[in-house]
Amino acid sequence: METYFILPFTLGMIFLFIVLFIKYGLWITKLSHIDKLRIVQSFFTRRTWDAIKESFMEGLVHRNMYKRNPLLGYMHMCFAMGWFLLIVFGHVESYMYYGTLAKAPWYPIFFQYYVHDWFPGERFMANLMDFLLLYILSGVLLAYFKRINSKIFGIKKTTKLKPLDRVALISLWFIFPLRLLAESATAALYGNGGFLTNTVGHFFTWIGVTPTMESALWWAYSLSLGFFFVGLPFSRYMHILTEILFIFLRHYGIKLKKQFNSYSRIQVYSCSRCGVCIDVCQMHVANISNNQSVYILKNIRDQNLTDRKLYNCLLCGRCEQACPVRINLNDLRISQRIRATKEYNSDYAFLQTLPVEPPQVVDKTPEVIYFAGCMTHITPGIKKSVLKVLDKAGVSYQFMDKEKGACCGRPLMLAGQYEAAQKLIAYNREKILDSKAPILLVSCPICYKVFRDDYELGQITIKHHSEYFLELAKQGKISLNKSDKSIVYHDPCELGRGCGVYEPPRDLLRMTGNLQTSQQEKVNSLCCSGSLGDMSLSMADRNVIKGETLKVLLKSNPDVLATACPLCKKTFVKGVDVQVKDIAEIVAEAME
Amino acid sequence: MRNFGFTTTKSRTIEYEKIDKRLIGYILENEPSFNACLSCGSCTAICSAGNLTSFNIRKLSLQIRLGDLEKTHEEIDKCMLCGKCLLECPRGINTRNVIMLIKKGLTIFEIKDKA
Amino acid sequence: MIDVLIIGGGIAGIETACSLQDLGYETIIVEKEKTIGGHLNDWDTLFPTHRSASEVLAHYTDETRRRALTIYLNTNVISVKKQDDGSFEVHTSRDVVFRSKTVVLASGYRLFNAEKKEEYGYGIYDNVITSADLEKKLKQLNGEFKTPTDKVPEKIAFIHCVGSRDEKSGNHYCSKLCCVTAVKQAIHMKQLCPNANVFCCYMDLRMYGPGFEEMYREAQEKYHVQFIRGRLSEVGENANGTLQLKVEDTLAARPCKIQVDLLVLMVGMEADKSTELFQQSCGLQCAPNRFVKPKDHHIGSNLTNIDGFFTAGACIGPMSVFDTVNHAKAVAFSVRDYLNATK
Amino acid sequence: MNIEGKKQIWNAYQKEIADNDYFYARSCIRQNFFPASEVTFLRILREELYKNIFDDPNHTTCTGIGYHSDIVPFDTIQTVVARQFSLMTQAGLEHMAISCVTSFGIYTEILDLWQHFPEQLEKIREYLYKATKREFNLPKNIAHTSDIIYKFRNEIAEKAKYKLINKQTGEPLNVVEHIGCHYAKMFPTKGVGGAEFPQVLVGMIESWGGNVVDYPERRHCCGFGFRNYLVQANRGYSISNTKKKMESMKPYKPDFIVANCPGCAMFMDKWQYTLAEMEGLTYDENGYGIPVLTYEEMAGLVLGYNPWDLGLQMHQVQCESLLDKMGVEYDPKAKYLDKNGNQMPLPEKPSCLKV
């Protein structure tokens, strides 16, 4: 009779499995045909093993989070790893006693309640299980502290909870203390505990314990488990299992699409709300603290995402870089913007009626086709320098947008105007292909990103001027004089995190001056705040963020602040006394 | 209605009380910086779309202020959102957001171009 | 201990010293350059009368000599510290430490660095110059006026509000003197090159002073200077070295392209760097536009948040020559009142 | 509104109006479109005020319409005007009483010109003499006929049978007064009250019991504008101006409009029909339109003349509503009877405007 206490646990678990089966089943069925094929084809390959490894390292050990924030990582590891081991060794213990694994799940879970006998290894297992429990309890204690004061974790702000989250959270908090109490009560009565439960059991004996009390505690333990299981699929804890699914799908080569689909949903539900993205977000400088990725994902789940939040993001990619779960935060946000602006994409009908420029008569196919881009046209210093370097190196080129050019389409993409961007892409693509040039040279990382990701230019190599000039320098086509000026380099978001170009600009700068390192650079570099990704950030706020970025960059008092993006240059130059130069200008000067 | 071979002309007078303020109200509510426009025209002169078409964002924004929305849809669709105007505006107006708000506003209020 | 230490030997500083001497006070002037007169040394003529700047300068050089004013040239002020007794200790790049009962800041302004408006092409295209460059050019003019690429200009454009009224330059305020300077220079250019077409691209024309509006009218009526209401957005260089301007003629509501031989950027005034120094060394308060903040805009514009620390001239905001002279005369009385009260 | 302030401004624009012995110059438009108005004017002057006015059958149009539409040369119109003066001189009279506002403007303009350029006057004398062997003296006084009614408004008020008062409510009628542009906008000093606050009709209305409506477009042109009306392609501009004026007065619910210019009266009357036909717009609450009277008709009504003798049946907007408000006795059956009591053919009914 008294074993009815297993019911909450059992029913909760059954409920959980049914819900998960339905949810995951639906998501996986909704994946595109090609994606499903990818899963089938990759299933019996190394990818599965890699996925298992990563699931272990990230889902249980929380390595990435540990690297970012050791205390936070430890807390997550306590819960995930501790609980995982508790289940595994619970089964081992049950196997050792019953000699079979084919026992109903409540036997291993409530082993202590059922088995009071001695068996070989019993002492060791009891102590081991106690140790694991203690390990988890240390995490629980940290979680209590975090709730009370998140500052000890170095976290600016944690996420807000909705009612079901609260149910799950409170149950989770109670599970392990209750397990401790229940096992200790049993230990007090039967002496079968380990070092921890026996100790607490002595205390119970001292205050006097009865089988009714013991039963009540086991009921409480089972109830907390049951509540947690029921609440889990509707709370943030859904991430525990979804993350594993996500890791597997990612390893099978499934990529996020422009449109929000079930894979996007899986990513959204994989977020553990650890808050790392809040910490790295520069918006805090301007006291904006409601638009960080974790909130956006939460809003997507709760279906209450407002335009203001959606658009107020620089899309600098710092959060994506920092995300321990490796969620494609930028693309997820853009996919939401695509959804929000779907109804009003332009068709740019005028592109069809533009007068066709007479084909340039050239002796031979140009070596490069140069696309300056809108932004470079308002930084004539960059444009002039690029052309100067090309001339000096004797490179034949066609200047694609010298007089009249359409935008590359990236700003539209950032705004979510995906279909509209396609029109511009088609228009420019034709012009690029018509030139027959093997290299497309761009001087704006914003253009570079979209050319690389969305243009499908076939054999044509796309190069940012920093990459191309480095090649020219290595080939000896241009020679650079090294000055003793100290230079600090700012990684433009679209070039660095966006396209992974970190070294070529630095190599060039080392050839032309005295390159200094900055506190936060490469993948961790800060955004200049000028980003076109943000639609609603005010100029005043942009200036505040820019000011903080400059503080970091100019810490070493460099002579020159170098960057490789016309937009970053325009952003930095306002209201600052230090010389801001594009890498093209530095190279052009160093050639003299 | 009878045809006399001539019709009344629409008055060009701006009657402030009769202005259709829905769109401008929506824009200003969501992007207050739009209030600061002094019509200097640098946005229009620098405009990538204006270089290719007759698009005149300054004029369009004045028309929107006056509720003159007969061609807004056709015009605003010429903008490529490149952001040059954003970098040029001496008043720091968040022009790209204004454009998106115009587009969204036209959709919300179901404002169509006059054929 | 001297009565008044004046920082800056421009017209504000000299005029302050003269006025204070008339009131019977002992002053010294500390000037960072090798000569007195400040920006006035660089100007050719002054609005609205086209009077030669050197004439005004000569007045102050003569006064300096006649009154035997004490001036330390080539001397930078490093810090100003207020002492417990209310006096000031002024450290300079010389080894001397000055002690004075009061300090008058007459450090003036600096010009906006036009290179920051990269799209206007200053420092990139040869034929883009600033209004200050033009003044220097006119001052040294010997023979025919030619552009930097050695051509007699047929078309000249003046661009108003460069680095003023511009969020992108970080200067929201109006420099107020560039409008009338542009008109003055436009007239001057028409006098030198009568066949040239001269354009002024403006956002608003602020002809606030006596004789300014008349000068504007003269530029239109007599000199046929063309005023285009539109702000320059972008400059490109043509193969022959001429410049292509993109500006919207906002009154016609049409984008407009102008090819010119010479582009003159009317650079605005910015707070001198030294104000930052005083912010740090003695807690001088500055306004958000970085100029020194007057204690009272209406009845105490010479006073600052520090007792005994006064201002004269353009260190509190853009100011013309005649406003500067008046402001400098006024500070003498503020200083006298202070010294009498603290005697 | 500060009425006192307006009156003070008006005081600066007093005008001398001759007392008696007028030479009458008729109006082309008035006698065609408001045929009884001029008869009524003569009747009032002769029978009510006992004045001497000569209506010379030999006088002609002033050719003003032709002049304002660039058909009649300036020298020609001056000579025509000189001929009228010659007729006046021949009749031994010195005061002109001009029925048409356009003519009034032309006479005023020509006299002003001759004053400044005496050689032009000599030239015209020569032209007239060569053409007709006639000579002339310049008139001592020029008045528009509305000026004369204005001058004697109080005498008329004494003899009035009806007042401009709504008989049912006892409230004064709301009257929109409209002055022709050429009456005072060209030579403000020649119109009573000048161009801004013309008093000529206001004086009549107020002394006969009515209330003048002051509405925003009060001084706006009726829309005639000669060239703009005469060329069909431009008529849209003409009617748009009338529309602007009508829309502006509509909220004040005027009981009727009175004009001193025959062209204005005609346009504000006929264009109401056209606007109704074109756009379905009517400017009173009941869809009948706002009646438009000439000041002669208004004076005739006040003096108790038979509305059908005043020619009100010839209007586009029907006047019965006004007659009912004023309590004027009339015989509806007699509306379309001719002089001999025979029924005339009935006019076609408009499709929108109610009659």
Q: Are C157 and C199 in contact (CB under 8 A)?
A: yes
Q: Are C161 and C124 in contact (CB under 8 A)?
A: no
Q: Which residue has the tokens 């002051």?
A: D214
User: Both A98 and A229 in a single domain?
Assistant: yes
Q: In the CATH scheme, what is the homologous superfamily, with its name and number, of domain C2-108+272-342?
A: FAD/NAD(P)-binding domain (3.50.50.60)
Q: Are D164 and D258 in contact (CB under 8 A)?
A: no
Please give the backbone phi and psi of residue C146, each rounded to the nearest 5 degrees, phi first: -130, 155
Task: Find all residues with CB under 8 Å of D299, minimum gap 6, and list them.
Answer: D40, D44, D149, D156, D204
Give B11→chain D minimum CA distance, Å: 8
Structural domain for A223, as ranges: 70-154+160-235
Which candidate, C299, C208, C201, C288, places its Cα nearest to that of C250? C201
Which candidate, A227, A209, A223, places its Cα nearest to that of A110? A223
The CATH number assigned to the domain holding D43 equals 1.20.1050.140
Whether the CB of D216 is below 8 Å from some CB of chain B: the reply is no
Looking from the CA of A120 toward its CB, the CA atoms found within 13 Å total 3
3-state secondary structure of C286: strand
The CATH number assigned to the domain holding A528 equals 3.40.50
Are chains D and A touching, using the cut-off of 8 Å on CB pairs and a minimum of 3 such pairs? Answer: no
Count the neighbouring beta carbons within 10 Å of the beta carbon of residue A468: 26
3-state secondary structure of D143: strand
User: Both D185 and D325 in a single domain?
Assistant: yes
Please give the backbone phi and psi of residue C52, each rounded to the nearest 5 degrees, phi first: -70, 135
Q: What is the rounded CA–CA span in Å between residue B14 and residue A18?
A: 66
Give all chains having 3 or more CB-to-CB distances under 8 Å with chain D: B
Q: What is the rounded CA–CA span in Å between residue A190 and residue A204?
A: 12
User: Both A547 and A490 in a single domain?
Assistant: yes
3-state secondary structure of C311: strand
Q: What is the rounded CA–CA span in Å between residue C256 and residue B44?
A: 10
Whether the CB of C204 is below 8 Å from some CB of chain B: the reply is yes
Cβ pair B5:D244 closer than 8 A: no
Q: Please report whether residue B56 resides in a domain.
A: yes
Q: Please report whether residue D17 resides in a domain.
A: no
Q: Which value, to the nearest 10 degrees, does the dihedral of the CA atoms of residues D189, D191, D195, D199 take?
A: 130
C-alpha Rg value of chain D to the nearest Å: 20
Q: Please report whether residue B15 resides in a domain.
A: no
Q: What is the rounded CA–CA span in Å between residue A216 and residue A222?
A: 10
- CA distances to A476, D155, D222, D323 from D270, rounded to whole Å, are 90, 32, 11, 20
Has the ipTM of the complex gone over 0.95?
Answer: no
Which candidate, A135, A131, A111, A143, places its Cα nearest to that of A198? A131
Q: Please report whether residue B67 resides in a domain.
A: yes
Count the neighbouring beta carbons within 10 Å of the beta carbon of residue C68: 8
Q: Note the pLDDT of residue A2.
A: 55
Which candidate, D24, D26, D67, D32, places its Cα nearest to that of D266? D32
3-state secondary structure of A305: coil
Q: Are C328 and C107 in contact (CB under 8 A)?
A: no
Whether the CB of B20 is below 8 Å from some CB of chain C: the reply is no
Nearest by CB to residue C116, choosing from A380, A539, A574, is A574
| Res. D197: pLDDT tops 80 | no
Last residue of a domain, one of A412, A436, A471: A471
User: Both D165 and D265 in a single domain?
Assistant: yes
Give A346→chain B minimum CA distance, Å: 5
Q: What is the rounded CA–CA span in Å between residue C109 and residue D43?
A: 85
Q: What is the rounded CA–CA span in Å between residue B113 and residue D71?
A: 45
Instruction: Please give the sequence-ordered ranges of beta strands (E in DSSP) within chain B, or none if there are none.
Output: none
Q: Sign of the CA dihedral C292, C298, C302, C303?
A: negative
Give B13→chain C minimum CA distance, Å: 18
SS3 content of chain A, % helix, strand, coil (to 5): 65, 5, 30
Structure-block tokens of residue A52? 């298992």
**Cα A405 off chain centre by:** 35
User: Both D30 and D52 in a single domain?
Assistant: yes
Q: Is A211 exposed, middle or buried (0-12, 13-18, 19+ CB in 10 A)?
A: exposed
**Chain A residues within 8 A of C265 when measuring between CB atoms:** none
User: Is residue C29 within a helix (H) or strand (E), and if so which, with residue range?
Assistant: strand C27-30
Whether the CB of A356 is below 8 Å from some CB of chain B: the reply is no
- CA distances to A151, C16, C336 from C341, rounded to whole Å, are 54, 20, 8
Q: Are A113 and A192 in contact (CB under 8 A)?
A: no
Cβ pair B45:C256 closer than 8 A: yes
CA-nearest residue to C289 within chain A is A575
Nearest by CB to residue B45, choosing from C167, C168, C248, is C248
| pLDDT per residue of chain C (343 residues) written in tens, 0 to 9 | 899 999 999 999 999 999 999 999 999 999 999 999 999 999 999 999 999 999 999 999 999 999 999 999 999 999 999 999 999 999 998 888 999 999 999 999 999 999 999 999 999 999 999 999 999 999 999 999 999 999 999 999 999 999 999 999 989 999 999 999 999 999 999 999 999 999 999 999 999 999 999 999 999 999 999 999 999 999 999 988 899 999 999 999 999 999 999 999 999 999 998 888 899 999 999 999 999 999 999 999 999 999 999 999 999 999 999 999 999 999 999 999 999 998 7
| pLDDT per residue of chain A (592 residues) written in tens, 0 to 9 | 457 889 999 999 999 999 999 999 999 999 999 999 999 999 899 999 999 999 999 888 888 888 888 888 899 899 999 999 999 999 999 999 988 888 888 888 888 888 888 888 888 999 999 999 999 999 999 988 888 877 666 665 556 677 888 888 889 889 999 999 999 999 988 888 889 999 999 988 888 888 888 889 999 999 999 999 998 988 888 898 899 999 999 999 999 988 899 999 999 999 988 888 998 999 999 999 889 999 999 999 889 999 999 999 999 999 999 999 999 999 999 999 999 999 999 999 999 888 876 666 667 889 999 999 999 999 999 999 999 999 999 999 999 998 888 999 999 999 999 999 999 999 999 999 998 999 999 999 999 999 999 999 999 999 999 999 999 999 999 999 999 999 999 999 999 999 999 999 999 999 999 999 999 999 999 999 999 999 999 999 999 999 999 999 999 999 999 999 999 999 999 867 889 999 999 999 999 7
User: Both D315 and D181 in a single domain?
Assistant: yes
Give B61→chain A minimum CA distance, Å: 18
Q: Are A449 and A498 in contact (CB under 8 A)?
A: yes
Length of chain A: 592
User: Both D125 and D166 in a single domain?
Assistant: no
Q: Which residue has the tokens 């002089």?
A: D339
Q: What is the rounded CA–CA span in Å between residue C41 and residue A159?
A: 63
Cβ pair B100:A535 closer than 8 A: yes
Q: Is C316 exposed, middle or buried (0-12, 13-18, 19+ CB in 10 A)?
A: buried
Q: Are D186 and D225 in contact (CB under 8 A)?
A: no
User: Both D198 and D294 in a single domain?
Assistant: yes
**Cα A165 off chain centre by:** 22
User: Both A331 and A406 in a single domain?
Assistant: no
Q: Please report whether residue D28 resides in a domain.
A: yes
Cβ pair C165:B89 closer than 8 A: no
Q: Are A375 and A570 in contact (CB under 8 A)?
A: yes
Q: Please report whether residue A245 resides in a domain.
A: no
Give C246→chain B minimum CA distance, Å: 6
Structural domain for D280, as ranges: 159-334
Cβ pair A404:B52 closer than 8 A: yes
Task: Find all residues with CB under 8 Å of C116, minimum gap 6, and list them.
Answer: A573, A574, C163, C169
Q: Please report whether residue B94 resides in a domain.
A: yes
Q: Are D278 and B4 in contact (CB under 8 A)?
A: yes
Which candidate, C58, C70, C76, C66, places its Cα nearest to that of C17? C70
- The strand pair at C97-105 and C88-92 is best described as antiparallel
Which candidate, D97, D129, D23, D134, places its Cα nearest to that of D296? D97
Cβ pair C167:A539 closer than 8 A: yes
Whether the CB of B89 is below 8 Å from some CB of chain C: the reply is yes
pLDDT in tens, D285-336: 999 999 999 999 999 999 999 999 999 999 999 999 999 999 999 999 999 9
Q: Please report whether residue B11 resides in a domain.
A: no
Q: What is the rounded CA–CA span in Å between residue C53 and residue C40?
A: 6
Cβ pair D234:B6 closer than 8 A: yes
The CATH number assigned to the domain holding A282 equals 1.10.1060.10
Return the ∠ at Cα D102 (arms to D98 and D108), rounded to 5°.
65
Give B46→chain C minimum CA distance, Å: 5
Domains: count for chain A: 4
User: Both D86 and D234 in a single domain?
Assistant: no
Domains: count for chain B: 1
Q: What is the rounded CA–CA span in Å between residue C57 and residue C51?
A: 11
Structure-block tokens of residue C8? 């800056």
C258 forms bridges with which residues in the sheet? C245
User: Both A466 and A491 in a single domain?
Assistant: no
Helix axes of A539-553 and A566-573: crossing angle, nearest 10 degrees: 90
Give A500→chain C minimum CA distance, Å: 28
DSSP string spanning D63-103?
A: -HHHHHTT-S-HHHHHHHHHHHHHHHHHTT--EEEE--HHH
Q: Please report whether residue B30 resides in a domain.
A: yes
- The strand pair at A439-442 and A461-464 is best described as parallel
CA-nearest residue to C258 within chain B is B45
Q: Please report whether residue D258 resides in a domain.
A: yes
Q: Which residue has the tokens 């869809």?
A: D287
**Chain D residues within 8 A of B5 when measuring between CB atoms:** 232-233, 235
Name the DSSP letter for residue C193: -
| Res. D1: pLDDT tops 60 | no
Q: Please report whether residue D353 resides in a domain.
A: no
Amino acid residing at A172: L
Q: Please report whether residue A196 resides in a domain.
A: yes
Q: What is the rounded CA–CA span in Å between residue A140 and residue A273?
A: 17
**Chain D residues within 8 A of B11 when measuring between CB atoms:** 240, 244
Q: What is the rounded CA–CA span in Å between residue C58 and residue A487?
A: 46
The CATH number assigned to the domain holding D201 equals 3.40.50.11810
Residues on A contacting C at a C-beta cutoff of 8 Å: 377-381, 384, 539, 543, 569-570, 573-575
Q: Please report whether residue B97 resides in a domain.
A: yes
Q: Please report whether residue D345 resides in a domain.
A: no
**Chain B residues within 8 A of A427 when measuring between CB atoms:** none
**Cα A204 off chain centre by:** 47
User: The pTM is what?
Assistant: 0.84
Q: Please report whether residue D195 resides in a domain.
A: yes
Structure-block tokens of residue C7? 């920082």
Structural domain for B75, as ranges: 20-108
**Chain A residues within 8 A of C116 when measuring between CB atoms:** 573-574
- Top-tier CATH class for C114-268: alpha beta
- CA distances to A52, A386, A422, C152 from A428, rounded to whole Å, are 44, 20, 10, 42
Please give the backbone phi and psi of residue A44, each rounded to the nearest 5 degrees, phi first: -100, 40
- Total beta-carbon pairs less than 8 A apart between chain B and chain C: 66
Whether the CB of B43 is below 8 Å from some CB of chain C: the reply is yes
Which candidate, A508, A530, A414, places its Cα nearest to that of A464? A508
**Chain B residues within 8 A of C232 when measuring between CB atoms:** 42, 45
User: Both D235 and D303 in a single domain?
Assistant: yes
Count the neighbouring beta carbons within 10 Å of the beta carbon of residue D57: 5
| Res. D4: pLDDT tops 80 | no
CA-nearest residue to B49 within chain A is A406
Q: Note the pLDDT of residue A120.
A: 87
Q: Please report whether residue A19 resides in a domain.
A: no
Q: Are C155 and C197 in contact (CB under 8 A)?
A: yes
Q: What is the rounded CA–CA span in Å between residue A199 and residue A206?
A: 11
Domains: count for chain D: 2
Name the DSSP letter for residue D233: G
Whether the CB of B78 is below 8 Å from some CB of chain A: the reply is yes
Write out the residue limits of the CATH 3.50.50.60 domain(s) in chain C.
Answer: 2-108+272-342, 114-268
